[in-house]
Amino acid sequence: MFYSISSVIPSNPLCHRRRCVVYNGEQIRYSQAWAWQQSEVAARRENPELDDVLMLLEHPPVYTLGKGSSLGFLKFDPNRRDVELYRVERGGEVTYHCPGQLVGYPILNLQYYRKDLHWYLRQLEEVIIKVLAEYGVRGDRLPGLTGVWVEGRKVAAIGIKVSRWITMHGFAFNVCPDLEGFQRIVPCGISDKPVGSLAQFVPDIQLPTVRQQIIAAFAATFEVNPIELELPQPLSES
């Protein structure tokens, strides 16, 4: 159903940076984005020379569990039919996605960067920290934890899966979401630190602006040449 088209983009001989195709999309159901990621990863296992990808999306309300996540961090019955819940192959515990939260799914071949998962996690944090700095907001890392905090509130969660050095899943940045859905879980399994959003510190934040700032920060952090494309047809029609 999904396909990779990045191999057909003409090369730019003036640019020595690795190209990264950016799909800057709107709301997409989590199940669709998950299948899309799997398709792109499979394509790069077959052809490691394909361009890298960054999917920048929003999701309707949905909860996701990491591969080894504990159901004990849910405050609702996981068998309820009115709640979307998926267990996926990323690391980390339970998290929540909803509109107003920008989710980034980088499909990168780390053999072209650095084969170091700790480095990769810190790079993803750095993307968010750079965007926060655009607003004069300081993003912090906390020792022993993954993600980005502002004044003790977690504004960005990170969970990844890497296979044959090809990445999937990624980061979730709370720009201006309704945070109520987080009250039904113990976010990331951390009970003593609240979840926050950029809008709590910058009330007039504009989501389209933040989208472009994430793309710019991602390009600067990973030293790639971003090429924006429209969503693949099966996704854009749904």
Tell me the C-alpha distance between 225 and 216, whole Å: 10
Q: Look at residue 234 in the predicted model and tell me its pLDDT.
A: 66
Q: Look at residue 84 in the predicted model and tell me its pLDDT.
A: 94
* Cβ count near 45 (within 10 Å): 12
Q: Look at residue 13 in the predicted model and tell me its pLDDT.
A: 41
Cα distances (Å, whole numbers) of residue 103 to 77, 119, 157, 192, 227: 25, 20, 9, 24, 18
CATH no. for residue 215?
Answer: 3.30.930.10
The pTM of the full predicted model, rounded to 2 decimals, is 0.91
- Which token pair is 95? 């998290």
Q: Look at residue 159 in the predicted model and tell me its pLDDT.
A: 96
Residue 154 maps to a domain: yes
pLDDT in tens, 77-121: 998 878 899 999 999 999 999 999 999 999 999 999 999 999 999
Q: Look at residue 80 in the predicted model and tell me its pLDDT.
A: 82
- Which token pair is 3? 């396909």
Is 188 a residue of the active site? yes
Tell me the C-alpha distance between 174 and 19, whole Å: 27
Domain tally for the chain?
1
* Cβ count near 236 (within 10 Å): 12
Q: Look at residue 214 in the predicted model and tell me its pLDDT.
A: 98
Residue 2 maps to a domain: no
Residue 10 maps to a domain: no
Residue 236 maps to a domain: no
Q: What are phi and psi of 91, to 5 degrees?
A: -85, 175
Strand order in the sheet with 62-65: 85-87, 62-65, 95-97
Residue 12 maps to a domain: no
* Cβ count near 175 (within 10 Å): 23
Residue 1 maps to a domain: no
Range of the domain at 114: 19-229
Residue ranges of the chain whose pLDDT lies below 70: 1-15, 233-234, 236-238
**Which of 20, 98, 176, 188 is labelled catalytic?**
188
* Amino acid occupying residue 186: V
Residue 224 maps to a domain: yes
Residue 127 maps to a domain: yes
